[in-house]
Amino acid sequence: MSTPQDPAIERFLVRVRAAQPTLDLTHVKVRTFGGSKAMADVIVPLIEQGEKTGTFALAWEFRNDPAAAPKLHDLYVVTDFEGVPVLLYRITGIELVAFEDIGPQHVAVEGPNARDVKVWRDIHWPYWGGMLRAHGEEPSPRMPVIFQAFEVLFRR
């Protein structure tokens, strides 16, 4: 994926380049967190503050475009829910794990309220289940989840 053409993202990347001139920003992905403004307003500050150092994606989300799936060393501009760039992170670890095999070592990257495996499952099962059911699929304890650890490289 090439660097996005959104003017706000481009201005953000100019600031990143000025602060970290050796960082290769040729291929940058853009994402937000949470399915709503309220959730993004909770999650993004946790990342900014260093409380959340990883995330998870359902592998199913990339079934039609496997090249878009997160990979080691990918760079992501994270925006707030309105699309304003907030930070840039790099994926430092990645693992494909069955939902039922997500353990304490995985959820340790979450925000403080989701670092318990049961809590994490109670959050993600209905979220991903709803997404899958909307497409005629059913969630499974064996569904593959992409675990990603990351490091923040630049904050607004």
For the segment 4-39, what is each residue's pLDDT rounded down to a tens digit? 578 999 999 999 999 999 999 999 999 999 888 999
Q: What is the pLDDT of residue 128?
A: 96
37-to-41, 81, 137 alpha-carbon distances in Å:
6, 5, 26
Distance of alpha carbon 52 from alpha carbon 104, whole angstroms:
14
Q: Is 111 exposed, middle or buried (0-12, 13-18, 19+ CB in 10 A)?
A: middle
Q: What is the pLDDT of residue 4?
A: 57
Q: How confident is the model at residue 2 (pLDDT cuts 50, 70, 90)?
A: very low
> Do 97 and 148 touch, CB atoms closer than 8 A?
no
> Do 78 and 1 touch, CB atoms closer than 8 A?
no
CATH assignment of 7-155, among 3.30.70.1560, 1.10.1370.40, 3.10.400.10, 3.40.50.800: 3.10.400.10
Give the helix/strand (H/E) hosting 95. strand 85-98
What distance lies between CA 83 and its chain's CA centroid? 15
Question: Is the pLDDT at 3 greater than 80, yes or no?
Answer: no
Mean per-residue pLDDT of the chain: 94
Distance of alpha carbon 135 from alpha carbon 129, whole angstroms:
10
Considering the chain, what percentage of its residues have pLDDT values greater than 90? 94
Q: Work out the angle at residue 87's Cα, subtended by the Cα atoms of residues 83 and 90, and round it to the nearest 5 degrees.
A: 120
**Greatest pairwise CA separation for the chain in angstroms:** 47
Provide the whole-model pTM: 0.91
Question: Is the pLDDT at 1 greater than 60, yes or no?
Answer: no
Query: What would the pLDDT profile of 116-155 be if each residue is shown by its tens digit?
Result: 999 999 999 999 999 999 999 999 999 999 999 999 999 9
Considering the chain, what percentage of its residues have pLDDT values greater than 70? 97
